[in-house]
Structure 1
Amino acid sequence: MIQVGILLTKQYKLLSVAAILDVFETANKFHTSTAQEAPYHLTLLSFDEKNDGSFSSYESKNISTEDTYNLILIPAFTTEDIKSAIGQNIAFIPWLIKQYQQEAEIATVCTGAFLLGATGLLDGKAATTHVDACGAFANAFPAVNLKSDKTVTQDGKLYTSGGATSSFHLLLHLLQNHCGKDIAIKAAKIFAIDMDRHNQSYFSSFQPTRHHNDDLVASAQEKIESNYQDVATIEEMIKDIPSSRRNIVRRFKQVTGITPIEYLQQTRIAAAKKLLEQTAQQMTEIIYNSGYNDPKAFRKVFRKAVGMTPTQYRDKFQAR
């Protein structure tokens, strides 16, 4: 029987813990209904208290015990202040490292990847997280091989997943590894999950950094967002800003995490996505209205950024 430990971190997201329990309980029922041994034994783990009452029917333990686990799952965090959340859960870090050294697999749901990243175990390894948290993750853990477009990654004994429903793809992946493809397919049907979704890029939204005190960068951001349909070069964007090109680019990237040109491109792609979702404009109009003149270049940039063609994106997300 696979011993599964599910961390009840400070500020854990209730939905991700519920999803983990539901999927593994379903796999157990598949087996017990045919008089087979249940494959998973589930335990909820905390470091300063027992089960908080949300899952009173499950066994709960403190990580101060000497128990070892075959598989450990880290749920998503509810907070946007991930740095604070990691600080509140720092007691888990040495424990996770020890469990990994004792051959445990570790899997993370969504922003739970930040806690695993803080252990250093992901350094040099592939990982993903919520698509809109990838920038913060890359800045916090530059040694990790971040695969921001991926729904699920596996690198040895370490697994990560993207945002929200990507957790189900992670859980199906684990079921397939542990119980075989037939069980994974049965679970996919129960939970109505498309097993072949491997990309999460098209769920991303451009959320530029605003919480800073750099007036020069704020001015450059405003110019880009107000004139993205017309400007094409950095020089055009910053011609009225009293600073050198080199200084602006340096400060801009330091504050936002990307260059002014990348910021312009993401602003344009965000505008194109909105037009595809909310209007009936022809593709040529959308291309022009989002700041592009070359349809071929637009489609190439869009597909690289979003993971699908503009037409596919419209078919998937346009309001009917």
Structure 2
Amino acid sequence: MRTAILCLDNTLASTVFGPLDILSQAGQLWNALCRRNPEPTFEVTLVSLDGAPVRSLNGPPIAVQGALDDGDWQLVLLSAAHVAPSAADNSALSAALRQQYQRGAVLASICTGAFALAEAGLLDGREATTHWGFVELFRRRFPQVLLQPEQLVTHSERLFCSGGFHAYQDLCLRLIEHFCDFERAEQTARALVLQGERPSQLPYKRFDLHKQHQDAAIRRVQEHIEVHYAQALGNAELAELAHLSERQFKRRFQAAVGETAPQYLQRVRVEMAKQELRSSREPVERIAGRVGYSDAAFFRQVFRRHTGLIPQDYRRKMQRSA
């Protein structure tokens, strides 16, 4: 499989060399461990847009083996790269990516590499994902893309995207399955001691307070919710706090924050529960009560909807990683 890893400027080196190692070992390391003949699957080449070395985000330059246009690629994998706060002129990169797609290549992005695919117009009307920390910026720039930020990997026709930096592992396993089969992907994961494909990046997402708006009355309500989240807070009470009618309050809260007040309250409660689960061994039922849920079963449902995990599994995952 003729594969190019396109090294973008200011890239994270791990999103270049990690995929290089995983894809290069597909059909090789497992076979060697099982004393079988090697069956290399991916012929991987490091390239840049113009064939020149690129800077890595943390300093060392990355030497490449050629330019993107030098080969006839079946798969082009975009590394993660620094994202400018405002849209930059990437017309040359966009044109090159569109050309590769028109030639029939599969294009796959790691983390913020999805910005390059979106700027090329290739993700319009298609599902995509990116690092959870860049979701709001991505949505503002590319409202026509069907962003699925909870997903670690998305696949739409010949376009793949992956979430956070180390989701390249999940992406590579998905690509091995796509071009070969599930067995080859599973063998590669076992040989390299990878976790296997994870379903979501929700457990890692930081709570966004959504306070970038200019509505002082709504911001005051948000701050009240963040302090009194364990109480039963209805729209009528919160509207009174904002000195608005209930109808005005609902409309202005949705416009400023992007969700309803009950939804915001629910997210605050889940975030407080996450903090307790990470730092204590308190029973889940007690934590549920402290954040405002008398029904522990309902709390588990809410928690899973926001994080992709039940509370016990979230605690194990986070305490183990800590």
TM range (shorter): 0.7 to 0.9
Question: Are 2:81 and 1:77 equivalent residues in the alignment?
Answer: yes
- Structure 2: how far apart are the matches of 1:172 and 1:35? 18
Alignment map for 1:37-56 (pairs within 5 Å): 39-47=42-50, 49-52=52-55, 54-56=61-63
- Structure 1: how far apart are the matches of 2:39 and 2:236? 69
Question: Are 2:15 and 1:11 equivalent residues in the alignment?
Answer: no
8 A Cα contact 2:6 2:79, kept in partner: yes
2:107 maps to what in 1? 106
8 A Cα contact 1:10 1:88, kept in partner: no
Question: Are 2:174 and 1:167 equivalent residues in the alignment?
Answer: no
1:228 maps to what in 2? 229
Instruction: Give the alignment's Cα RMSD to 1 decimal.
Output: 2.9
Where does structure 1 lack aligned partners over 5 or more consecutive residues? none
- Structure 2: how far apart are the matches of 1:174 and 1:128? 16
State the shift of 1:106 in Å.
0.6
Q: What is the TM-score with the length of structure 1 in the denominator?
A: 0.84
- Structure 2: how far apart are the matches of 1:76 and 1:248? 41
Over the matched positions of the two proteins, sequence identity in percent amounts to 29
- Structure 2: how far apart are the matches of 1:248 and 1:208? 18
- Structure 2: how far apart are the matches of 1:246 and 1:21? 55
1:59 maps to what in 2? 65
Moved more, 307-316 or 297-306: 307-316
- Structure 2: how far apart are the matches of 1:183 and 1:261? 46
SS at match of 1:275: helix
8 A Cα contact 1:110 1:161, kept in partner: yes
State the shift of 1:292 in Å.
1.6
* Count of residues in correspondence between the two structures: 313
- Structure 2: how far apart are the matches of 1:89 and 1:75? 15
8 A Cα contact 2:10 2:54, kept in partner: no
State the shift of 1:119 in Å.
2.5
Q: What is the TM-score with the length of structure 2 in the denominator?
A: 0.84
The amino acid that maps onto 2:271 is A
* Gap change, CA 1:22 and 1:76, over 3 Å in 2: same
The amino acid that maps onto 2:171 is L
8 A Cα contact 1:10 1:89, kept in partner: no
Where does structure 2 lack aligned partners over 5 or more consecutive residues? none
* Gap change, CA 1:249 and 1:114, over 3 Å in 2: farther
* Gap change, CA 1:12 and 1:259, over 3 Å in 2: farther
The amino acid that maps onto 1:54 is P
SS at match of 2:165: coil
1:254-273 per-residue CA deviation (whole Å, 9 max, x = no partner) reads 44333322211111100111
8 A Cα contact 2:273 2:291, kept in partner: yes
The amino acid that maps onto 2:47 is L
The amino acid that maps onto 1:75 is S
- Structure 2: how far apart are the matches of 1:218 and 1:10? 39
8 A Cα contact 2:129 2:147, kept in partner: yes
